[in-house]
Amino acid sequence: MMARRSPGPSPSALPSHSPRGLGAAALAATLLWALASGAAQAVGIPPAYAPLVIEPVGGPDRAEFDLGPALARAKRENKRLYVYLGASDCPYCRRYENFLNKNAGELVPHFRPWIVVDLRSALSTTSKQLHIRVGDKSLAYTEFQRSIGDERTRMLVYPSVWLFDPQLKPLMQMPAGTGTFETVDEQLEILNLVQ
- Residues in contact with another protein by CB under 8 A are 1-5, 7-9, 14-18, 20, 150-152, 154, 173-176, 179-181, 183, 185-186, 189, 194-195
Min dist. Cβ of residue 140 to another protein (A): 18
CB of 115 to another protein, least distance (A): 22
Using DSSP, state whether 65 is helix, strand or coil: strand
Cβ closer to another protein: 5 or 62? 5
Q: Which CB sits closer to another protein, 20 or 60?
A: 20
Nearer to another protein, 112 or 154 (CB): 154
Q: What's the min distance (Å) between Cβ of 9 and another protein?
A: 7
Q: Is 150 exposed, middle or buried (0-12, 13-18, 19+ CB in 10 A)?
A: middle
Name the residue nearer to another protein (CB basis): 10 or 121.
Answer: 10
Query: Phi and psi at residue 2, in whole multiples of 5°?
Result: -100, 135
Half-sphere exposure of 124 (CA within 13 A, CB side): 6
- Nearer to another protein among residue 38 and residue 175 (C-beta): 175
Q: Which helix (H) or strand (E) holds 121?
A: strand 114-121
Minimum CB separation of residue 8 from another protein in Å reads 4
Cis upstream peptide for 159 (omega within 30°):
yes
Closest CA to 96 of 115, 67, 116: 116
Q: Which of 136, 176, 183, 184 lies closest to 11 in space, CA to CA? A: 176
CB of 53 to another protein, least distance (A): 26
